[in-house]
Structure 1
Amino acid sequence: MNDRQLITQLKKRDRNALKDVYREYKTEFFRFASRYTKTNDTLEDIFQDAIIALYENALAGKLDNLNSSLKTYLFSIGKFMLFKKFRDAKEITTDETYIFDQREKAVMYDVYEDEGPSEYQKKMVAGFKKLGDKCREILELFYLQGLKLEEIVSIQDYDNKNVVKSQKSRCLKSLKELIQYNDG
């Protein structure tokens, strides 16, 4: 499975995809991170935390336009977590001086500076959960997976793209009404 497919499966909360990422990169991550610390417990904790951060970011859509490989993203998260742990504990186990590049800084910001969803986003999620299955699916296919109307026609077995377009419009209107209702 390629990175795009893995990200799509993670967004669908597919635990098997998460297990695949875990198994695929664990040994290599340990080998990579062992130059910073030799403690297996620390490596295990950091790797698990990095996997959780990756999963949460996938669910939040933050990996939709990922400019690096999934592996690079995961290892950047892990490396930052290691460095943060060492900095917080005032212990550095390497002689190397490391400078983060711009992509790594962006990853660090995403992982540690994110304050979570805004109130509006929470209302949107709550409204989204109240939509019917067909509406949720059509909006997910169009907005989250980036499929074209023609592709949705074949997936959901509609007659043509105009039917999909009007259905999507009705679903969006329903979602907006649910969000406004939650404002009251």
Structure 2
Amino acid sequence: MSDQKIMALFKNGQRDKAFRQLYSLFPRIEKLILSKGGSKNDAQDVFQEALIILSKNLEKSDFKLTSSFYTYIYAVSRFIWKDTQKQYSKQELHNLKEEEVSIFHNVLEEKKYQYAEKAFLELGERCQQLLQLFYHKAMSFKVIAEMMQFASEKVAKNQKYKCLQKAKDIFKTKYKTVQS
């Protein structure tokens, strides 16, 4: 199936059919990962992550696929694998084409979101609830204080700050180890 037909499937909301077509690319990505010292499981993980990144980018209004699906998934998979292996030196980054740099930044951005989510999940249940009420449901501190039985709005606000700081600390610790 051509790239145009796959793109049409995405645009028409037939994501499952589109992804089934993209899975035909897996053997080539598997060959790439195996040639770089990875296992079949590594190849599956990398391919899945590449599809997630592609999917999230296709949802962005300003994203334009300037290459074939294969080229894009191959490049993303290569960057994911290199990032996983932490073998990406600064010298290699300077030799990349503009499109490859963009793809690399998309991979890093996705990693950041994954680590932010992990940091959130490492918070206690009460912190998770507080942050969800404030950020997701846009509730006032007055309502949050009543719901969560805090003594006052100020206590709720201070607790939100502490929870957010804890999440940021977890994120920085996890993300710092990924970058180095």
The DSSP-based 3-state class of the residue aligned with 2:66 is coil
8 Å Cα contact 2:33-2:42 kept in structure 1: no
Match of 2:71 in 1: 72
AA in 2 matched with 1:16: K
AA in 2 matched with 1:103: E
1:109 paired residue among 105, 111, 134: 105
Q: Determine the C-alpha separation between the residues in 2 that align with 1:49 and 1:85.
A: 12
AA in 1 matched with 2:70: K
AA in 2 matched with 1:82: W
The alignment covers a number of residue pairs equal to 107
Q: Determine the C-alpha separation between the residues in 2 that align with 1:62 and 1:40.
A: 34
Unaligned runs of 5+ in 1: 117-184
Question: What is the Cα-based RMSD across aligned positions, in Å?
Answer: 2.6
Q: Determine the C-alpha separation between the residues in 2 that align with 1:6 and 1:77.
A: 18
Unaligned runs of 5+ in 2: 114-180
Match of 1:16 in 2: 17
Match of 1:56 in 2: 56
AA in 2 matched with 1:113: E
Taking structure 1 as the reference length, what is the TM-score of the superposition?
Answer: 0.50
What stretches of structure 1 move > 6 A for 4+ residues in a row?
none
Taking structure 2 as the reference length, what is the TM-score of the superposition?
Answer: 0.51
8 Å Cα contact 2:53-2:106 kept in structure 1: no
Residue deviations 1:71-103 (CA, integer Å, cap 9, x gap): 10011111100011100xxx69xxxx7843221
Question: Percent of counterpart pairs with the same letter?
Answer: 20
Q: Determine the C-alpha separation between the residues in 2 that align with 1:21 and 1:62.
A: 22
8 Å Cα contact 1:10-1:55 kept in structure 2: no
How much does 1:62 deviate?
5.1
Match of 1:39 in 2: 39
Q: Determine the C-alpha separation between the residues in 1 that align with 2:62 and 2:69.
A: 12
In 2 relative to 1, CA 79–62 (structure 1 residues): closer, same or farther, beyond 3 Å? Answer: farther
Match of 1:143 in 2: none
Normalized per residue, which structure has more helix?
Answer: 2
AA in 2 matched with 1:8: A
8 Å Cα contact 1:11-1:61 kept in structure 2: no
Q: Determine the C-alpha separation between the residues in 1 that align with 2:59 and 2:4.
A: 13
